[in-house]
Amino acid sequence: MIITRITARDIRFPTSQTLDGSDAMNPDPDYSAAYVTIHTDGPLKGDGLTFTIGRGNELCVAAIESLAPLLIGRSLESITSDMAGFWRHITGDSQLRWVGPEKGVIHLATSAVVNAVWDLYAKSEGKPLWKLLSDMTPEQIVGAIDFRYVTDAITPDEALAILQANMATREQRVAEMIRDGYPSYTTSAGWLGYSDQKLRAQCRDLMSRGWSNFKIKVGRDLQDDIRRCKIIREEIGWDSRLMMDANQVWDVDQAVEYMKSLAEFKPWFIEEPTSPDDVLGHAKIAKAIAPIKVATGEMCQNRVMFKQFMQADGLQVCQLDSCRLGGVNEILVVMLMAKKFGIPVCPHAGGVGLCEYVQHLSLFDYICVSATLEDRIAEYSDHLHDCFVHPLVMQDGRYMPPQDPGYSATMKAEALDEFEFKGGTPLTTASLN
């Protein structure tokens, strides 16, 4: 199976019109995707995407087009026989690397391309991605990882030992997930732009559908946040778990003071309390606000940053993003580091396609790496799933394991056509949930 061409499309949804996704840093997001299709000389195609919130999505599309020549003409077998080498090849082009390295727009584009390769790989094996990964031997999984820059935190031998320790009980966890699904928390009630009435209505609807873990956006105005937190606690009670997300708006000391005022609402964690690159600032906040945990990772740009956060005790909840990191290969090593450091992985999944992705990642984490569900919940939001050929399935607030081959990234042709952005084409609200 030879890769013949790669196409990239700029897809944008006008979610700012309903304030879905709104928070203290991002008041008017338009959920968007730089959408990749890998075409081959056979009947199969691989689809992937990286997530943005509107303007700038065209930069990711251009970066994908710059990466495409690194894959065109290669066989799928040449890639899957050396997945770590493939990833090093994609991230190691001596000229393209200069505009990263392994961060920013070029790394977002890398994620889209790498995700599309894994989608193609899973389709070629006739398996959903989570099952493809879960059927791999520990040696194959380790062989898909580029350990450069993180061997002071985890070595290939340590990663292999973690995976081997869980081999005997893998099938037991597979059966459990197929029966029960993977637990989630929802942000769909707590967007900052929602009215009080909508916040209450969303809480009641989501609780009736099985959710007991909720996240609310904070950080714009303390008194308003206190009022909104009172509302959400009135609706969900005190037995449900509540999380908070500041989306990077505070300075370090400001975050500490702000959280002292919100501590009465018993948050499990505060997400992104300050700059996503400030490892030591996160560590200072975490020490000051304990037992409230600090969560971050949505904007954590590579495995090296995650390594430093873990080594410095700057996070207690790892919220890796399926598109911010460089695709599945890099996500694998972050999950293994988190296991070694005893940190739960609770992936970020607020945007278009991210929920479809993280269901596979969390299933793999539980089946092969963590082997526990303690403090592990994947994020869920109620938006745009109907735009996918194989939309996720939720049951009682849990992700039910996908059964269709691939990485669940393939979007419907009509959605792609309707929401493709062409240099100023007005966005519409048609087809939005």
What residues are annotated to the active site?
Answer: 217, 348
Q: Which amino acid is at 61?
A: V
The answer to whether 274 touches 256, Cβ cutoff 8 Å, is no
Question: Per DSSP, what are the bridge partners of residue 381?
Answer: none
Q: List the one residue out of 73, 83, 90, 89 whose CA is nearest residue 1.
A: 73
Dihedral angle sign, alpha carbons of residues 145, 150, 156, 161 = negative
Strand, coil or helix: 9: strand
Q: How far apart are CA 170 and CA 284, in angstroms?
A: 38
Q: How far apart are CA 86 and CA 36, in angstroms?
A: 18
The answer to whether 392 touches 212, Cβ cutoff 8 Å, is no
Q: List the one residue out of 424, 415, 407, 373 whose CA is nearest residue 184.
A: 373
Residues whose CB is less than 8 angstroms from the CB of residue 386 and which lie 6 or more positions away in sequence, other chains included = 431, 433
- Give the DSSP letter of residue 421: -
Residues whose CB is less than 8 angstroms from the CB of residue 305 and which lie 6 or more positions away in sequence, other chains included = 277, 279
Q: How far apart are CA 376 and CA 355, in angstroms?
A: 15
Q: How far apart are CA 316 and CA 311, in angstroms?
A: 11
> What is Dmax (Cα atoms) for the chain?
60
Which two structure tokens, joined as six digits, stand for 42? 């056979």
b vs e for 178-210, b when ≥16 Cβ sit within 10 Å of the residue's Cβ? Answer: eeebbbbbbbbbbbbbbeeeebbebbeebbeee
